[in-house]
Copies of this chain bind each other. A is one copy, B any other.
């Protein structure tokens, strides 16, 4: 028979505090331009606390016209692409800043074709104030939509460089490739194989990296040999298969650069199953420095990327954009670091 305590609203807070709803809103949102006395502010806060008041976000968004959600949109060809710690780390980084700055993270996956209208519905449906996008394998449709929305002025930050007009926080992957391939060259290797990502035309990033690999070789006076290049698809399986194929070459490479760590591990397995040893017969290097890289046999020489920082910086940039502060730079690049372990054989000669 007792009256259910109606849900706490700003109106009820106002009544209890003996002020208007307007004042409650001003206090709770710390509106500077409204001059609220200390005493009133205290009363409002007290009333809100007493009623256990939590503002209705839907009402707030509707009234203010802005959302406090951002989206992390991950465009990938296939669920299987989620093979390493990249996304968890990015999420950790982003979350650190969204939490501090009062935003929430909406995660959306868009696979090959499906879910292609997600950009539109998120923005136009006012679900989010901005988005950070990750293109594992950029599809034309995804990139075009993102570029268009970015040009319209919507807050978008990409985790890789996609277009001059799209803000980005990216890893200097090409610099990393240069470091690690040069490292192999310095160790005296002349026949350096490569396991790249999907064939060039479908993945511009991979293409760029392959190009750097080639340039480093040529700068060192080594002729580029396309018979030493294979294409994988991010996961250990394809690294394994690519290496099996390389091992059929008449003249084997003495070193291998794999475009990511998990493919490198697949390759190492293939090499060992073939009766050869790493790094003695074939030196191997990877890319990413996943946490397991130091705990394998042999430990993997690779390139470290600051993923958590990456996420954090992208989020800071995005929220600046949302709040109308122009970020200092439109494109931020984070440096990689070469991590030398056993798989490259550097320590054999030390």
Chain A residues engaging chain B, CB cutoff 8 angstroms: 52, 54-59, 61-62, 67, 69, 72, 79, 82-85, 87-89, 91-92, 95, 99, 104-109, 115, 120-121, 124-127, 235-236, 239-240, 262, 265-266, 268-269, 272, 291-292, 294-297, 299, 308
Q: How many copies does the complex hold?
A: 2
Complex: how many Å from CA A104 to CA B110? 13
Q: A84, A120, A292: which has the most chain B beta carbons within 10 Å?
A: A292
Bound-complex Cα distance A83 to B307 (A): 13
A-B residue pairs in contact (CB < 8 Å), sample of 15: A52-B124, A56-B126, A57-B125, A57-B126, A58-B58, A58-B62, A62-B62, A82-B88, A84-B85, A91-B109, A95-B107, A107-B107, A236-B291, A262-B295, A269-B299
Not counting A83-B291, A265-B295, A265-B296, a sample of 6 additional A-B residue pairs whose C-beta atoms are within 8 angstroms of each other reads A82-B89, A105-B107, A107-B107, A262-B295, A269-B297, A269-B299
Given A62-B59, A125-B57, A269 and B295 contact (CB-CB distance below 8 Å): yes
**Which 5 residue pairs are nearest across A and B when measured between Cβ atoms?**
A58-B61, A54-B124, A82-B88, A58-B62, A236-B295
Measured between alpha carbons, how far is A127 from B102 in the docked complex, in Å?
13
A67 smallest CB distance to B (angstroms)? 7
Are A262 and B106 interface neighbours, CB within 8 A? no
**Given A82-B89, A109-B95, A127-B104, is A265 in contact with B236 using a C-beta cutoff of 8 Å?**
no
A63 → B minimal CB distance (Å): 9
CB contact under 8 A between A295 and B308, given known A56-B126, A106-B105, A126-B57: no
Prevailing SS type, chain A contact patch: helix
Q: State whether B297 touches A296 (Cβ < 8 A).
A: yes
Q: Is the CB of A127 within 8 A of B299?
A: no
Q: Contact check, B294 vs A236: say whether CB atoms are below 8 A apart.
A: yes
In the assembled complex, how far is the CB of residue A160 from the closest CB belonging to chain B, in whole angstroms?
18
- Are A109 and B83 closer than 8 Å at their CB atoms? no
Q: Tell whether, in the assembled complex, residue B296 and residue A54 are in contact, meaning their CB atoms are under 8 Å apart.
A: no
Residues of B within 8 A of A308 (CB): 79
Chain B residues, Cβ within 8 Å of A79: 92, 308
Residues of B within 8 A of A126 (CB): 56-58
Q: Which residue of B lies closest to A236 (CB)?
A: B295
Query: Nearest Cβ in chain B — how far from A45, in angstroms?
Result: 16
When distances are taken between beta carbons in the complex, the residues of chain B under 8 Å from A108 are 95, 104-105
Report B-chain residues with C-beta under 8 Å of the C-beta of A269: 294-297, 299
CA distance A228 to B158 in the complex (A): 49
Partner of A104, one of B54, B91, B106: B106
Complex Cα gap A87–B109 (Å) = 14
- Complex CA gap A54/B52 in Å reads 34
- With beta carbons under 8 angstroms apart, the residue of B85, B236, B295 that contacts A240 is B295
Task: List B contacts of A105 (CB < 8 A).
Answer: 106-108
Residues from chain B with a CB closer than 8 A to the CB of A58 are 58-59, 61-62, 67, 126
Assess whether A272 is in contact with B294, with CB atoms less than 8 Å apart: no
- Shortest A106–chain B CB gap in Å is 5
Residue of B nearest to A293 (CB): B236
